[in-house]
Chains A and B, each alone.
Chain A
């Protein structure tokens, strides 16, 4: 595989990362926000595997494995939070949780 194709992989993951990031910033539904975070995580996973390929190193894939585990844990906690939140205020969005405001 030519290195140009590797660079294309990196560009693709950069674009996907930004799409996910913008999604987190503009969406209000917490479920969608979690999905956008998943997008960002996947973009990063893609760069890891690409770098692993470019450096001919298995560690790139190992770390993706760990990222997936952490992502699973994160989703479990995120969803539990959403359930807890929705139980108290059905239909609440991220914008409704504003007790942090100064």
Chain B
């Protein structure tokens, strides 16, 4: 049963991943991302991480992807991307090559090394308990052993919120990004700065 669930979820995950990378329309990419994230949530369940599976669905699909889609709609950048041309010569070839090399290396390690790739010793204090619920075990660990990292992440989130506010303020004296001359050189249509709205 586990194996079947894994195979089905893995296919969904991979299909979604490829979809993100290859969709010309960003909205389609976001939808593919949702598929991938759902697949991974199922895999989490399969691995016995019930809490993470739920958080994955709520936080990722429910918040992050929705946020991404929201920004997409807000800015109106949901137009299709030209995937046929590549301004950077050799970028795709090199990216593919590097990806394949990396993948090959990792797969080789996994296949050759088998279980030996996991080098840590089995945990005693933090062992996954068969009797205690996953959520209470994670909660206990978070608020005892990992309480300081938890506080630090709280600080990080606060900083991120402040940073977002600062970044998305609209200053009055904002100069437009200067035209890169190389874009003109390349024969691309020169991008123009947004005209200042007179309403303000």
Q: Do chains A and B touch in the complex (CB under 8 A)?
A: yes
Query: CA of A72 to CA of B156 in the docked complex: distance in angstroms?
Result: 10
Q: Is B59 in contact with chain A by the CB < 8 A criterion? A: yes
Query: CA of A39 to CA of B19 in the docked complex: distance in angstroms?
Result: 11
Interface size class of B (residues with CB under 8 A): 35 or more
Query: CA of A59 to CA of B121 in the docked complex: distance in angstroms?
Result: 13
B57-81 vs A: 1/0 string, CB under 8 Å?
0011001100110011011110101
Query: CA of A56 to CA of B30 in the docked complex: distance in angstroms?
Result: 34
A14-58 vs B: 1/0 string, CB under 8 Å?
111111111101111101101110110010011001111111111
Asked whether A58 lies within 8 Å of B167 as measured between CB atoms, the reply is no
Q: Which residues of B contact A51 (CB under 8 A)?
A: 118, 120
Asked whether A58 lies within 8 Å of B191 as measured between CB atoms, the reply is no
Asked whether B157 lies within 8 Å of A72 as measured between CB atoms, the reply is yes
Where the two chains meet, the residues of B that have a C-beta atom closer than 8 Å to any C-beta of A are 2-3, 6, 10, 13-14, 17-18, 20-21, 23, 26, 29-30, 33, 36-37, 40, 43-44, 47-49, 51-52, 55-56, 59-60, 63-64, 67-68, 71-72, 74-77, 79, 81, 86-88, 91-92, 95-96, 98-100, 102-103, 106-107, 110-111, 114-115, 117-118, 120-123, 126-128, 134, 137-138, 141-142, 146, 149, 153, 156-157, 159-161, 163-164, 167-168, 170, 174, 176-177, 180, 182-183, 191-194
